[in-house]
Structure 1
Amino acid sequence: MTGNLKLLINFVEKFLGTVKFGNDQIAPILGYGDLFQGAVTIKRVYYVEGLNHNLFFVGQFYDADLEVAFKKSTCFIRDLKGNDLLTGDRPSMVMASPSLSFELRHHQLAV
Structure 2
Amino acid sequence: MSLKTAKKIWDYLKAEYEGDERIRGMKVLNLIRDFELQKMKESESVEEYFDRLLSIANKVRLLGSVLNDSRIVEKLLVTVPKKFEATITTREHQRLVKYFSYRALECFTSTSRGESSESWLIDSGCTNHMTNDKKFFEELRDTKVKRVWIGNGEHLEVKGKGTIVITSYEGIKFIPNVLFVPKIDQNLLSVGQLLDKGYKVLFENTQCLIKDANGKDLFNVKMKGKTFVLNPMEKEQMAFISRTSATEI
How would you bin the TM-score normalised by the shorter chain?
A: 0.5 to 0.7
Q: 1:93 is aligned with what amino acid?
A: F
Q: What SS does the aligned partner of 1:93 have?
A: strand
Q: 2:219 aligns with which of 78, 81, 85?
A: 85
Q: Is the 8 A contact 1:88 1:96 kept in 2?
A: no
- Quote the RMSD (CA, aligned, Å): 2.9
Q: 1:34 is aligned with what amino acid?
A: T
2 CA distance for matches of 1:58 and 1:22?
Answer: 15
- What TM-score does the superposition give when structure 2 sets the normalisation length? 0.33
Write 1 or 2 for the structure with the bigger share of helix. Answer: 2
Match of 2:203 in 1: 70
Show structure 2 runs of 5+ residues with no match: 1-129, 235-249
Q: Is the 8 A contact 1:68 1:78 kept in 2?
A: yes
2 CA distance for matches of 1:48 and 1:69?
Answer: 27
**Is 1:12 equivalent to 2:145 in the alignment?**
no
Return the index of the structure with the highest Cα Rg: 2
Q: Is the 8 A contact 1:2 1:47 kept in 2?
A: yes
How many residue pairs are counted as aligned between the two chains? 99
| 60 and 88 in structure 1: CA distance in 2 versus 1, 3 angstrom threshold | farther
Q: Is the 8 A contact 1:15 1:30 kept in 2?
A: no
| 14 and 61 in structure 1: CA distance in 2 versus 1, 3 angstrom threshold | closer
Match of 2:230 in 1: 95
Deviation string, structure 1 residues 2-58 (Cα, Å, up to 9, x no partner): 001111222103462223455655421111001234464322100001222111221
- What TM-score does the superposition give when structure 1 sets the normalisation length? 0.65
Q: 2:232 is aligned with what amino acid?
A: S
Q: What SS does the aligned partner of 2:176 have?
A: strand
2 CA distance for matches of 1:86 and 1:8?
Answer: 25
Q: Is the 8 A contact 2:200 2:215 kept in 1?
A: no
Structure number with greater CO (CA < 8 Å, separation at least 6) is 1
**Is 1:52 equivalent to 2:185 in the alignment?**
yes
Match of 1:109 in 2: none
